[in-house]
Amino acid sequence: MKKILFSLTLLLSSFAFAQNQPLIIGMELAYPPFEMSDENGKPTGISVDMAYALGEFIGRDVIIEDMAYGGLIPALKTKKIDAVISSMSITEERKLSVNFSKPYAKSYLAMLVNNKSGITKSSDLNAKGKKVAVKKGTSGHTVAEKYFPNAEILVFDKESAIILEVSQGKVDAFIYDPLTIYKNWSKNSEATTPLLEQFETESQPWAVAYRKGEDDLGAQIDDFIDEYKANGGFNKLADKYLGEERAFFKEKNVPFFFD
């Protein structure tokens, strides 16, 4: 009996210790308005607000760790962070390494093409001599290899470098989500064109990634997503950060992240 009581006490103490520890959330602060920094270098955006709301829901302080997108899952696996909230889509490959919460948003992939590329529809990109730029570690990277095997795929770490390549005509197209495509087209409309058609068969669900074996945290995250959605939290974030873009998507009959 003493052994059982000791084991139970140790288990409860471990749980209480974990609850008192800050929740370290990893994200790359380079995808406005979801993940970004304000003029003072402070994390802000939809994912940041969501992360702090999650911490409040489960009773833990939140620390935001900014890191390169490709390093998020390795950091999660090596326990440098506790979860990833970084507009990360669920893929079969990622599911081999980490667990995912319920989806909280969804997106799909679109293209930004150079006006002189001759590309008017997505299938035009799947040809020898065509060059497609993708950001390392993103769904666009994986999907490009599947849908455009005949094109040359160029992998970049920074979105800004890709946009420069497309606008200068050094690559024919950039594959990313439609919000990013829309924003970069609006800044480079003389040299580029957005192709918002959905060339994939399915949308890309976004979710919170957490370590395998940490089912208690996963259940808490799922409960948070359910309650936050029911209380209109995601719609409030969209109104706060994406009012103009949401109206544009509706006008063009393009699916929106939280629809």
* Spatial separation of the C-alpha atoms in residues 183 and 166, rounded to whole Å: 14
Is there a domain that residue 57 lies in? yes
Query: Highest mean pLDDT: which of 48-62, 182-196, 238-252?
Result: 48-62
Angle of CA points 92, 95, 101, to nearest 5°: 115
Residues 17 and 75 in one domain: yes
Q: How far apart are CA 172 and CA 248, in angstroms?
A: 25
Domain containing 178 — which CATH number? 3.40.190.10
How far is the C-alpha of 67 from the C-alpha of 30, rounded, in Å?
9
Long-range contacts for 253-258 (Cβ within 8 Å, ≥24 apart)?
254/178, 254/196, 255/106, 255/107, 255/108, 255/198, 255/203, 257/105, 257/106, 257/107, 257/179, 257/206, 258/105, 258/234
Kindly state whether residues 46 and 97 are assigned to the same domain: yes
Whole-number CA gyration radius for the chain: 20
User: Cα-flanking dihedrals φ and ψ of residue 237, to 5°?
Assistant: -65, -40
Taking only the tens place, the pLDDT of each residue in 189-222 is: 999 999 988 887 677 899 999 999 999 999 999 9
Q: Is 169 left (phi over 0), alpha (psi -120 to 50) or beta?
A: left
Closest C-alpha among 59, 16, 65 to residue 220: 59
pLDDT at 9 over 60: no
For residue 34, pLDDT beyond 70: yes
* Residue 158 vs residues 28, 105, 169, 193: alpha-carbon distances, Å: 11, 23, 17, 20
Q: Which residues contact 142 (CB under 8 A, 6 or more apart)?
A: 91, 93
Q: Which domain holds residue 35?
A: 2-106+205-251
pLDDT of residue 125: 94
Residue % of the chain over a pLDDT of 70: 92
pLDDT at 37 over 60: yes
Residues 184 and 215 in one domain: no
Q: Are residues 72 and 151 in the same domain?
A: no
In a domain, 40, yes or no: yes
Q: What are 54's two structure tokens? A: 């999650």
- Is 200 contained in some domain? no
pLDDT score recorded for residue 8: 47
